Amino acid sequence: MSTRLRIGFIPLVDAAALIAAVDCGFTAAEGLDVSLVREVSWSNVRDKLNIGLFDAAHMLSPVAIASSLGVGHLRVPLIAPFNLGLNGNAITVSEPLYAAILAHADGDIGDPAVSARALARIVAERKAAGEEQLTFGVTFPFSNHNYQIRFWMAVGGIDPDEDVRLAVLPPPYMVESLQGGQIDGYCVGAPWNSVAVGQGVGRILHFGCAIMARASEKVLAVPERWADKNRDTLNALLRALASAAAFVEDAGNRADVARAVAARLDVADGIVARTLAGDLQIAADGATRTSERYLMIGRDGASRPDPVQAAWIYAQMVRWRQTPFSEALLHDARAVFRPDLYDAALGEPVPAADHAPPDGIGCFAGPDFDPNDVPGHLAAWPKRPAVRPRLSVVR
């Protein structure tokens, strides 16, 4: 008899390995009967995992860490034995803001440092003219969307807590808010950047991988106590996910994968296929941009959880004052990512990533990341007054 599992997910392309595992037969082959449950909010995913309505979930990597550390919410120890996706985000801006950035640029705005400086000039001009601050949407307080857009702005000299407004918006509302002018831009995952471009309301300014070359975006999160009690089931699930992740990356399967994912997401196959290929339309005029790093699911070691990524995420939480720094918390954050469980389940040595940046993260600015010296790394950035981090209200 097969083991029944309930796994929650948010309709995003980076759930592809999970969706393919279930819909292309990999979990069934491992003797698992998985119900995928589509959710509407990360809060729901986290809470349902916490109270046992889900056995496992597709989860923002920073949420798994925040939950394990008890930052911002109840402490629930989660572990991440599988990385569902690296990268996959993009920063999209309204057409008027894009035009303004172009007009204020001192170089090629394909370079995030140039666009960030241009944005800083726009922000300063608006302030001098007494105009309202620019507003940007992110999907959750504990998300790479929040950290990447902040990192980018800060390189240009913008204080994201003081100079602009950052607001949490559910991804399905991003596009209409951009269209309605309530926000001027956002950082979100696929397919929502392509949706804005497709509707002619926004332009993709940067891929997330242009800000950080390698960032753990979503993990498979399971409660630690569940993993301890159900090791065989967990191993079977991890094997199914690893096979599915490899299947997703094989371009020969792209049409099948895109169809399965699109059906679960309620979007067109084409958008999913282009996202998986890292070849996106970035503007209404048909301009495209391609990056082999745009979204990585089963290649170049993407599936194996990397504790350096966990340390990086914790460092961002400290940088943006979501939590204080302590060596103990850093240790706990790193321990959320479990390559040991991944290795044990797959039972074979994993080839090292060939194209990973030297420090494992590869930010476009600043010093290399040192996971053993988070305070030293953060000292490279300007010190700011100790106020609480701020996210704003969309008016």
Partner 1 sequence: MRPPNPLKRREFLTGRVERDLLAQKQARATGLRSVSEFLKDAAGTGAPSADGARDASLKILIVDESPIRAAILADGLREAGFLLVERLAETRNLLDRIYAIDPDVILIDLENPNRDTLEQMFQMSRAVRRPVAMFVDHSDRASIQAAVDAGVSAYIVGGLRKERITSILDLCISRFNAFSRLQAELETAKGALEERKVIDRAKGVLMKAKGLSEEGAYALLRKTAMNENKKIVDIAQSVVTAAELFK
- Rounded CA separation 248/280 (Å): 18
CB atoms < 10 A from the CB of 291, how many? 15
* By CB under 8 A, residue 169 contacts partner 1: yes
* By CB under 8 A, residue 388 contacts partner 1: yes
* By CB under 8 A, residue 139 contacts partner 1: yes
| CB nearer partner 1, residue 3 or residue 44 | 44
- Rounded CA separation 101/209 (Å): 20
CA torsion 15-220-146-212 (nearest 10°) is -80
- Rounded CA separation 189/179 (Å): 18
| CB nearer partner 1, residue 108 or residue 266 | 266
Is residue 177 within 8 A of residue 183, CB to CB? The reply is yes
* By CB under 8 A, residue 172 contacts partner 1: yes
Q: Which of 29, 31, 40, 292 binds partner 1 (CB under 8 A)?
A: 40
* By CB under 8 A, residue 335 contacts partner 1: no
Q: Cβ neighbours of residue 150 under 8 Å, at least 6 residues apart?
A: 160, 166, 316, 320
| CB nearer partner 1, residue 48 or residue 289 | 48
* By CB under 8 A, residue 37 contacts partner 1: no
Q: Which of 124, 167, 246, 365 binds partner 1 (CB under 8 A)?
A: 167
* By CB under 8 A, residue 43 contacts partner 1: yes
Residue 137 Cβ, how far from partner 1 at the closest point, in Å?
10
* Number of separate helices (H) and strands (E) present in the chain: 18, 13
| CB nearer partner 1, residue 1 or residue 74 | 74
Is residue 156 within 8 A of residue 118, CB to CB? The reply is yes
Residue 13 Cβ, how far from partner 1 at the closest point, in Å?
18
Q: Give how many residues touch partner 1 by CB under 8 A.
A: 32
Residues 254-313 within binding reach of partner 1 (CB under 8 A): none
Q: Which of 27, 194, 275, 322 binds partner 1 (CB under 8 A)?
A: 322
Give contact residues for partner 1 (rule: CB under 8 A). Answer: 40-44, 47-48, 50-53, 72-74, 139-141, 167-170, 172-173, 322, 387-391, 393-395
